[in-house]
Chain A
Amino acid sequence: MQVKDQVRDDVTIRFAGDSGDGMQLTGSLFTNTTALQGNDIRTLPEFPAEIRAPIGTVPGVSSFQLHFGSKEIMTPGDECDVLVVMNSAALKANLSLLRKGGIIIANTSGFDKKNLNLAKYGEDNNPLENGSLSDYIVIEVDVTRLTKESLSDSGLSYKDIERSKNMFVLGLLYWMYNRPLDSTISFLNQKFTKKPEIAQGNIKVLKDGYHYGETTEVFAETYTVKKAQIGAGEYRSITGNEATVLGLVAAARQGNIPLFFGSYPITPASDILHELSALKNFGVTTFQAEDEIAAVSSAIGAAFGGSLGVTSSSGPGIALKAEAVGLAVMLELPLVILNIQRAGPSTGMPTKTEQSDLLQAMYGRNGESPVVIIAPATPGDCFDAAFEASRIAIEHMIPVYFLSDGYLANGSEPWKFPQQKGLKKVNVRFEPARNGEDNPFLPYARDERLVRSWAIPGTPGIEHRVGGLEKEAETGNVSYDPDNHQLMTNLRKERVDKIADSIPLQQVDSGKDHGDAVLVGWGSTYGSIRTAVRELMVEGYSVSHVHIKYLNPFPKNLGEILNNFDQVIVPEMNSGQLVKLLRDTFFVPAKGINKVKGRPFFVDELKQEVKTILSEKV
């Protein structure tokens, strides 16, 4: 049989298996190789909620989806073209995400009686045999047996052999998509420098998987995805949490101040703590506190001392920080609160994504305590957003909320990384020492931007007290004076509003600056909205896309832009939060497209919803 090679613009592959099957690693290795090949790519890892869910069951399934192409790729793909399943539970959990006509590559050992029972198919009801998959192309490969055979003379233990079966699958997929093996081989050699026999074993299985594709006749086609037309330059692959870390470190460097990071572990924010903890030679101090309250409080203490104070959390942990954030509003100290949002109230769905904490960031504190809010749009954009959050916190002596989410945090994209010389400077102005008594230091005196000075301990002559009680303007002394409270409340709001003078004006991301409708998004929905809008434009619709990064204050020209469209449509992974702020601020009759299913928008569903809204109007 002749194997035909087909050219594809884009492909979505989903690797799924038991938590122990190494699907995350398989996915990231495929991602790296593919990025090195010059494709544009987006990924979405999905982990089970339980660390050690029972082997072979549906809750124990871990998957990794990647979408790559020769065109611009902005999402991890709606439905996948290829679904790799290491056992029957993986098929059960993921079949609905495979497009009709798509390819299933099934590890047949994972469909034995035991696995069928564990996946609750029932031992006599093997989906590979009962005809239920007739809409798909099913390719059966006994990965487990082939891996064992491949390593029968290796002397490796049963466990080590069992662990390398993901390499067989990876090799096979590399053959299918014409990818080279070298990047993975050098990764394996590096990872197992101390255990070369394991490196050799894995490499052998990888190659055998590749050759299996070449020599057997189970595949009729291979696929070529050409290089993408992406901007020239040097790239690396990056996840949102990694980029967040780099943004913080870079901002502290650009201000030449220490970065103090206080945190308490929680999914999906913990990786930020892990990564920063390793950067001790970058002027970073990390503190794993006893709880989220201590975490934010320690950051406030460090900020009082002249560090950039940063804290991170998600869901319930953010709720715990609220009182201390209010303190930082009163103290007017630089504090960055990273909220890597996750789904649901209370503990909710820790491993699932959602963007439902915008109104909490905006209003979720006692009293009127405005803060700045910034949201990154893509994994790589987490760098810019974290940098900006830190810069504004420092230069404006104010708490800044950074609203990422689980999807950005774990998703990855090729990133044209910046160089230090191209980064903005961050201006730190510590109040200088004083010798004379003639003009006493006023801790709450302000400059023209309404910013007070950063007066750090250790500076002679400016000893002063701050606190959460209302401050008298200028002196900072405790004051219950009615007019003073009005003044200070107004000032705290104006301080935030004034930041609009120094942030970039809002741009229209796709489409014209006027038309029938504008889709307004924020945060991680960027890729889906952009792709949907561009496709709708091709179909002849008069739609545009505006994506807001600065959510409080809004860019000065935002209202003007919105007014140039007949309809304002706001897709959000919540039940309507930005839409409320837009209606309230600009009096526009904005409509929401809302979804809270713990996963990002599909491009197709967005397009459908937009079409429905546009047709209702006529």
Chain B
Amino acid sequence: MSLETIIDLHIKNGAPGDMNYTGKDFSSDQDVRWCPGCGDYTILKQVQTAMPEIGVKKEDIVFISGIGCAARFPYYMDTFGMHSIHGRAAAIATGLKISRPELSIWVISGDGDSLSIGGNHFLHLLRRNVNVNYLLFNNQVYGLTKGQYSPTAPSGSVSKSTPYGSIDHAVNPLSFALGADGSFVARAMDRDPKHLNQMILRANSHRGTSMLEIYQNCIVFNDGAFERFTDKKTRPVEAVYLEQGEPLIFGEKNEKGIRLDGLVPKVVSMKNGEFSKDDLWIHDEKDKTKAYMLSRFFDQPEPGDENRMPRPFGVLFAEERFCYDEEVNRQIAGVVERKGVGNLDELLRGRETWIVK
């Protein structure tokens, strides 16, 4: 016997959805209201483009967001959606996923939403490994409230609330996610749509919390924050794309590589014959120690230093690990199997009764 509720009956009776979608099928009738030129547009486009490829019926997809510019996202997707309250999308998604594990759930959140007000929920989502996709739109600023520095803004950032420069030490979202035992940790950027699209699909196919940080340009309050990665001229030197099983190569002519000298990553040149591809760090997204090292490739050392590390893009870490929502439901099924579906009358009676005549 199983516990069949009205939800199961309701869903079963639904007509099967038409699955020949195009990206357009995922665009809602609402006008998109981000500032012209905002990085959010390309992310929206890439998510809509990716949706027909994930093989899920539209009615089984739910977008849940907190508050912020990024968090307006669900209104523009023609799926189920909830624009909730600041920082709490992770918790709402957890409740929905536990109770409806068959749904494909996407959390959309800004850097402030995820890492200041919602930091606690973000931590617990990651460690529980709830099977949802988490897109963190990082623009290093509070966009919606018009330009205060955010927890990912580098120290010294000048913003409306920090006219003399911020004093905070910035949080590194990927180190945070790895520290919380996130099972999938990746980075992409708005200005490389093709790679972004691949990353969205990778995030979708991973079982567990798939945390994809997306560098997103806020053209109004923090324009150019990621220019050195997004500008085609500087990108080859400042960014390194990670490919599973491939060496870490970058540079204008792919002439540079990263080599592990014991536990110390070093930038090496392959120009003068001293080093070749075979000497380089081979990316292994299952290696957590290396993933953590990669997440620390973060503005160190100073620009101009010959050992300056490029910023990694791609999947830093991916491991298979049990998901909270699946286990909760497995445990329930186990109890039902052992004890049978509970009898309400027996429960109401309790253990000991007496009769008054």
| Interface 0/1 of A229-259, CB less than 8 Å to B | 0111111111000000010011001011110
**Would A231 and B121 count as touching, CB distance under 8 A?**
no
The reply to whether the CB of A418 lies closer than 8 angstroms to some CB of chain B is yes
B59 is an interface residue with CB less than 8 A from chain A: yes
Tell me if B100 and A294 are in contact (CB < 8 A). no
The answer for the CA separation of A5 and B228 in the assembled complex, in Å, is: 95
Quick check: A468 and B7 within 8 Å, CB to CB?
Answer: no
Residues of the A chain whose Cβ atoms lie less than 8 Å from the Cβ of B307: none
A159 contacts the other chain (Cβ, under 8 Å)? no
- A473 contact set on B, CB distance < 8 A: none
| B179-233 interface (Cβ within 8 A of A) | none
Contact between chains at A260 and B98 (CB < 8 Å):
yes
Cross-chain contact B80 with A327 (CB below 8 angstroms): no
In contact, A262 and B356 (Cβ under 8 angstroms): no
Is A297 on the interface with B (CB-CB < 8 A)? yes
A433 partner, pick from B7, B13, B99, B348, beta carbons under 8 A: B13
Given A281-B336, A457-B80, A302–B348 Cβ distance below 8 Å? no
Cβ contact of B10, chosen from A230, A237, A306, cutoff 8 A: A306
Shortest B55–chain A CB gap in Å is 16
B344 lies within 8 A of chain A by Cβ: yes
CB distance B355 to A463 under 8 Å?
A: no
Residue-wise, chain A 264-284 has the 8 Å CB interface mask toward B (1 for contact) of 000000000000000111110
Q: Is the CB of B15 within 8 A of A294?
A: no
* B13 proximity list for chain A (CB < 8 A): 433
Nearest CB in chain B: distance from A463 CB, A: 5
Q: Which of B97-155 contact A (CB under 8 A)?
A: 97-100, 102-103, 120-121, 123-124
B59 touches A458 (CB 8 A): yes
Residues of A within 8 A of B345 (CB): 419-420
Partner among A38, A293, A331, A461 whose Cβ is within 8 Å of the Cβ of B82? A331
A419 touches B79 (CB 8 A): no
Judging by beta carbons under 8 Å apart, are A306 and B60 in contact? no
Q: Does B17 contact A (CB under 8 A)?
A: yes
| B47 close to A (CB within 8 Å) | no
A281 touches B353 (CB 8 A): no
Q: Which residues does chain B contribute within 8 Å of A459, judged by CB atoms?
A: 10-11, 14, 59
Distance in Å: Cβ of B68 to nearest Cβ of chain A:
13
Tell me the chain B residues, 298-357 only, with Cβ under 8 Å from chain A: 328, 331-332, 335-336, 339-342, 344-345, 347-357
| Complex CA–CA separation, A459 to B11 (angstroms) | 6
Kindly identify which residue among A249, A257, A327 contacts B6, using a CB–CB cutoff of 8 Å: A257
Convert A288-299 into 0s and 1s, putting 1 for each residue whose CB lies closer than 8 angstroms to a CB of B: 011101110111
Q: A32 near B: Cβ within 8 Å?
A: yes
Is B283 part of the contact surface with A, judged by Cβ < 8 Å? Answer: no
B5 touches A (CB below 8 Å):
yes
Contact of A279 among B81, B91, B96, B347 (CB under 8 A): B347
Distance of B83 from chain A, by nearest CB (Å): 3
Return the chain A residue nearest B101 by Cβ.
A305
Interface residues on A, range: 35 or more
Select from chain B the residue with minimum beta-carbon distance to A306. Answer: B7
A420 touches B103 (CB 8 A): no
User: Cβ of A177 < 8 Å from any Cβ of B?
Assistant: no
For this complex, into which size category does the number of interface residues on chain B fall? 35 or more
Cβ distance A588 to chain B, nearest Cβ, rounded Å:
38
| Contact between A36 and B336, CB atoms less than 8 A apart | no
User: Of residues B58, B120, B342, B351, which shows the largest number of chain A Cβ atoms within 10 Å of its Cβ?
Assistant: B342
**Known contacts A301-B92, A428-B6, A236 near B353 by CB under 8 Å:** yes
**Residues of B with C-beta under 8 A to A146:** none
Total A-B residue contacts, Cβ distance less than 8 Å = 242
Q: Given A236-B349, A459-B59, are A465 and B336 also a contact pair (CB < 8 Å)?
A: no
Contacts of A465 in B (CB 8 A): 28, 74-75, 77, 80-83
Q: Is the Cβ of B332 less than 8 Å from the Cβ of A468?
A: no
- The residue from B3, B10, B17, B340 contacting A283, defined by CB atoms under 8 A apart: B3
Point out the residues of chain B lying under 8 angstroms from A237, CB to CB.
350, 352
**Bound form: Cα–Cα A237–B350 in Å:** 9
Contact A302 B354 (CB under 8 A): no
Indicate which residue in A38, A282, A428, A464 contacts B344 across the interface (CB closer than 8 Å).
A282
B88 close to chain A: CB less than 8 A: yes
Contacts of B238 in A (CB 8 A): none
Across-interface contacts of A230 in B (CB, < 8 A): 356
A513 interface hit (Cβ, 8 Å): no
Q: Please tell me which one of the listed residues B6, B30, B60, B91 contacts residue A457 in the complex, with CB atoms under 8 A apart.
A: B60
Q: Are A250 and B356 in contact (CB under 8 A)?
A: no
Q: A282-B342, A433-B15 are in contact. Are A458 and B352 (CB under 8 A)?
A: no
How near does chain A come to B144, taking the closest CB pair, in angstroms?
12
**A residues in contact with B14, CB < 8 Å:** 433, 458-460
Task: Please indicate the chain B residues that have their CB under 8 angstroms from the CB of A294 in the complex.
Answer: 88, 90-91, 94, 120-121, 124
Chain A, 462-483, CB within 8 A of any chain B CB:
462-469, 477-478
A484 at the interface (CB under 8 A from B): no
Tell yes or no: B293 within 8 A of A by CB: no
> A394-419 CB contact bits vs B (8 Å, 1 = yes)?
00000000000000000000000111
Q: Would you list 13 pairs from A and B whose C-beta atoms are within 8 A, ordered by A residue? A: A234-B355, A285-B332, A290-B124, A294-B91, A297-B85, A300-B92, A301-B92, A302-B95, A417-B353, A428-B6, A430-B6, A457-B62, A457-B96
Q: Can you name 17 extra interface pairs (CB under 8 A) apart from A234-B349, A236-B353, A458-B11?
A: A234-B356, A281-B335, A281-B336, A287-B94, A291-B120, A298-B95, A301-B95, A302-B100, A304-B82, A430-B10, A457-B60, A460-B59, A461-B15, A463-B80, A477-B30, A478-B30, A478-B75
A interface vs B, CB < 8 Å? 32, 35-36, 38, 183, 227, 230-238, 246, 249-250, 253, 255-258, 260, 262, 279-283, 285, 287, 289-291, 293-295, 297-302, 304-307, 309, 323-324, 327, 331, 417-420, 428, 430, 433, 435, 456-469, 477-478
In the A-B complex, the 9 residue pairs with the smallest Cβ-Cβ separation, listed nearest first, are A298-B95, A467-B83, A301-B95, A297-B91, A301-B96, A294-B91, A282-B342, A301-B92, A465-B81
